[in-house]
């Protein structure tokens, strides 16, 4: 069975500082990996995905994520955090060979303070 772990319930960072939101995954085959963001009282918005190729993936709003196959990780990063980045972030995995089931991590709340 596939699974996703987001080890931090909350990440606090000062505005202008770099941020990292951690994600590790477990799948039996090759994964698609995703990051989504959820603002209060809203649905999930797609940020970026890893399919294949370059391990550094760039997405919306200046976010990027680094795929590390040996560590089975897909950490979300941003060089300079904004207060408006404060939201709930979800990592998700989809095993290409397992019926396209999409599994989410528990979410990490990012708090960016001025």
Partner 1 sequence: NAGVTQTPKFRILKIGQSMTLQCTQDMNHNYMYWYRQDPGMGLKLIYYSVGAGITDKGEVPNGYNVSRSTTEDFPLRLELAAPSQTSVYFCASPGTGDMNTEAFFGQGTRLTVV
Are 36 and 92 a contacting pair, CB within 8 Å? Answer: yes
- Contact status: 44 vs partner 1 (CB under 8 A): yes
**Nearest-10 Cα torsion for 29, 70, 1, 22:** -130
Stretch of 17-25, 62-70, 71-79, 94-102 lying at the interface with partner 1 (CB under 8 A): 94-102
Q: Pick from 11, 21, 24, 94 the residue near partner 1 by CB under 8 A.
A: 94
Half-sphere exposure of 69 (CA within 13 A, CB side): 11
Q: Pick from 34, 63, 67, 74 the residue near partner 1 by CB under 8 A.
A: 34
Q: Pick from 25, 63, 67, 90 the residue near partner 1 by CB under 8 A.
A: 90
Query: Interface with partner 1 by CB under 8 A: which residues?
Result: 32, 34, 36, 42-46, 49, 51-52, 90, 92, 94, 99-107
């Amino acid at each position: 069975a596939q699974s996703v772990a987001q080890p931090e319930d909350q990440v606090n960072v000062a505005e202008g500082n770099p941020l990292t939101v951690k994600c590790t995954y477990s799948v039996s085959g090759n994964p698609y990996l995703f990051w989504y963001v959820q603002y209060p009282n809203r649905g999930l918005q797609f940020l970026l995905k890893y399919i294949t190729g370059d391990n550094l993936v760039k997405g919306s709003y200046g976010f990027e994520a680094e795929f590390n196959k040996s560590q089975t990780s897909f950490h979300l990063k941003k060089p300079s955090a904004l207060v408006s980045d404060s939201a709930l972030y979800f990592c998700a995995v989809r095993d290409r060979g397992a019926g396209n089931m999409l599994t989410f991590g528990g979410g990490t709340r990012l708090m960016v303070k001025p």
